[in-house]
Amino acid sequence: MRYVTAVGFAVLTAIATAILWIVVRFVLPIAVPIFLSRLGASGSGGIAAASMGSGSILLAALLGFVGGFVWMLWKR
């Protein structure tokens, strides 16, 4: 039962890490320039773009899975 709990927690950690990575790598590069242009910063009216491959998301999910699994086994 210890390993099943650890795997379940690791899956949840992997999903959370992948979502955080998507926000950092995709949403923030688009949202920050738009937000700054709304504040009246210099260079307003520009174009914001972001791209991301699935490899980086999978790597973030793998790191989250391993970290969550190890943490859960250490915790118990």
Answer whether residue 54 shows pLDDT above 60.
yes
Which residues have CB under 8 Å from 33's CB, separation 6+?
A: 46, 48
Q: How many domains does the chain contain in total?
A: 1
Two tokens, residue 26? 């995709």
User: What would the pLDDT profile of 2-15 be if each residue is shown by its tens digit?
Assistant: 889 999 999 999 99
**pTM for this prediction:** 0.74
Query: Which structural domain range is residue 51 located in?
Result: 2-39+47-75
